[in-house]
Chains A and B, each alone.
Chain A
Amino acid sequence: MVSANATLAKVTPRINTILDTDKIRADFPILDIKVGNKPLVYLDNAASSQMPQQVIDRLVRYQTAQHANINRAVHYLSEVATLEYEHARRRVQQFVNAQEDREIIFTSGTTDSINLVMHGYGRKFIEAGDEIILTTLEHHSNIVPWQMLAKEKGAVIRVVPINDAGELDIDAYEKLFNERTKFVSLIHVSNALGTINPVKQMIAYAHQQNVPVLIDGAQATPHMTVDVQDLDCDFYVFSAHKLCGPTGIGMLYGKAALLEAMQPYKGGGDMIASVTFEETTYADIPHKFEAGTPPIAAAIGFGAAIDYLCSVGMDQIAAYELDLLNYATEQINEIKGASIIGTAAHKTAVISFTLDGIHPHDIGTLLNEDGVAIRTGHHCAQPVMQRFNVPATSRASFAFYNNKTEVDALITGIRMVQKVFL
Chain B
Amino acid sequence: MMNTKSLYQEVILDHNRKPRNYGVLDHPSHHAVGHNPLCGDRLDIALNLENGQINNIAFQGESCAICKASASMMTAAVKGKTRSDAETLIQEFREMAMGERDLNHPHHLGHLTVFSGIRDLPTRVKCAILPWHTLHAALNALSSVSTEADNDPVQNAASHPEALNRQANS
Binding site for A on B (CB under 8 A): 3-5, 8-9, 13, 16, 38-40, 62-66, 121, 123-124, 127
Interface size on A, residues (CB 8 A): 17
Are B124 and A365 in contact (CB-based, < 8 A)?
yes
Q: How far is the CA of A366 from the CA of B66 in the complex (A)?
A: 12
Min C-beta distance of B91 to chain A, whole Å: 25
- Tell me if A362 is interfacial: C-beta within 8 Å of chain B: yes
Determine the chain A residues whose CB is within 8 A of the CB of B66 once the complex forms.
361-362, 365
Determine the chain A residues whose CB is within 8 A of the CB of B121 once the complex forms.
365
Partner of B13, one of A365, A391, A392, A420: A420
Secondary structure at the A interface, as helix, strand, loop or mixed, is helix
A359-B39 contact given A365-B124, A421-B13, CB 8 Å threshold: yes
Determine the chain B residues whose CB is within 8 A of the CB of A358 once the complex forms.
65
Determine the chain B residues whose CB is within 8 A of the CB of A391 once the complex forms.
39-40, 62
Q: How far is the CA of A385 from the CA of B37 in the complex (A)?
A: 13
Interface residues as binary, A370-385 with B (CB distance below 8 Å gives 1, 0 otherwise):
0000001110000001
Closest CB pairs A-B (n = 9): A391-B40, A359-B64, A361-B64, A362-B65, A361-B39, A362-B64, A369-B4, A392-B40, A420-B8
Can you list 15 A-B contacts with CB-CB less than 8 angstroms, sorted by A residue number? A361-B124, A362-B65, A362-B66, A365-B4, A365-B124, A366-B5, A369-B3, A369-B5, A376-B39, A377-B38, A377-B40, A385-B40, A392-B40, A421-B13, A421-B65
Determine the chain B residues whose CB is within 8 A of the CB of A365 once the complex forms.
4, 66, 121, 123-124
Q: How far is the CA of A385 from the CA of B123 in the complex (A)?
A: 21
Given contacts A360-B39, A362-B64, A392-B40, 12 further A-B contacts (CB under 8 A): A361-B66, A361-B124, A361-B127, A365-B123, A365-B124, A377-B38, A377-B40, A378-B40, A391-B40, A420-B5, A420-B8, A421-B8
Q: How far is the CA of A421 from the CA of B40 in the complex (A)?
A: 20
Determine the chain A residues whose CB is within 8 A of the CB of B127 once the complex forms.
361
Min C-beta distance of B13 to chain A, whole Å: 6
Determine the chain B residues whose CB is within 8 A of the CB of A362 once the complex forms.
8, 64-66
Min C-beta distance of A207 to chain B, whole Å: 38
Partner of A420, one of B9, B39, B64, B124: B9
Binding site for B on A (CB under 8 A): 358-362, 365-366, 368-369, 376-378, 385, 391-392, 420-421
Determine the chain B residues whose CB is within 8 A of the CB of A377 once the complex forms.
38-40
Determine the chain B residues whose CB is within 8 A of the CB of A366 once the complex forms.
4-5, 8
Are A359 and B5 in contact (CB-based, < 8 A)?
no
Determine the chain A residues whose CB is within 8 A of the CB of B13 once the complex forms.
420-421
| Highest count of chain B CB atoms <10 Å: which of A362, A365, A385 | A362
Q: How far is the CA of A365 from the CA of B66 in the complex (A)?
A: 10
Q: How far is the CA of A338 from the CA of B123 in the complex (A)?
A: 24
Min C-beta distance of B92 to chain A, whole Å: 24
Determine the chain A residues whose CB is within 8 A of the CB of B9 once the complex forms.
420
Q: How far is the CA of A286 from the CA of B40 in the complex (A)?
A: 41
Q: How far is the CA of A392 from the CA of B121 in the complex (A)?
A: 19
Min C-beta distance of B34 to chain A, whole Å: 14
Min C-beta distance of A416 to chain B, whole Å: 8
Are A359 and B4 in contact (CB-based, < 8 A)?
no
Q: How far is the CA of A338 from the CA of B124 in the complex (A)?
A: 23
Min C-beta distance of A362 to chain B, whole Å: 5
Min C-beta distance of A48 to chain B, whole Å: 16
| Highest count of chain A CB atoms <10 Å: which of B8, B13, B38, B64 | B64
Closest to A390 in B: B40
Min C-beta distance of B64 to chain A, whole Å: 4
Closest to B17 in A: A421
Min C-beta distance of B147 to chain A, whole Å: 13
Q: How far is the CA of A420 from the CA of B14 in the complex (A)?
A: 11
Closest to B9 in A: A420
Min C-beta distance of B9 to chain A, whole Å: 6
Q: How far is the CA of A358 from the CA of B9 in the complex (A)?
A: 13
Closest to B4 in A: A369
Determine the chain A residues whose CB is within 8 A of the CB of B16 once the complex forms.
421
Determine the chain A residues whose CB is within 8 A of the CB of B64 once the complex forms.
359-362
Min C-beta distance of A94 to chain B, whole Å: 40
Determine the chain A residues whose CB is within 8 A of the CB of B62 once the complex forms.
391
Determine the chain A residues whose CB is within 8 A of the CB of B8 once the complex forms.
362, 366, 420-421
Q: How far is the CA of A35 from the CA of B119 in the complex (A)?
A: 17
Q: How far is the CA of A421 from the CA of B39 in the complex (A)?
A: 19
Determine the chain A residues whose CB is within 8 A of the CB of B123 once the complex forms.
361, 365
Min C-beta distance of A37 to chain B, whole Å: 11
Q: How far is the CA of A162 from the CA of B65 in the complex (A)?
A: 31
Min C-beta distance of A95 to chain B, whole Å: 34
Min C-beta distance of A387 to chain B, whole Å: 14
Determine the chain B residues whose CB is within 8 A of the CB of A385 once the complex forms.
40
Determine the chain B residues whose CB is within 8 A of the CB of A392 once the complex forms.
39-40
Determine the chain B residues whose CB is within 8 A of the CB of A359 once the complex forms.
39, 63-65
Q: How far is the CA of A233 from the CA of B117 in the complex (A)?
A: 51
Q: How far is the CA of A376 from the CA of B121 in the complex (A)?
A: 15
Q: How far is the CA of A369 from the CA of B8 in the complex (A)?
A: 12
Closest to B6 in A: A420
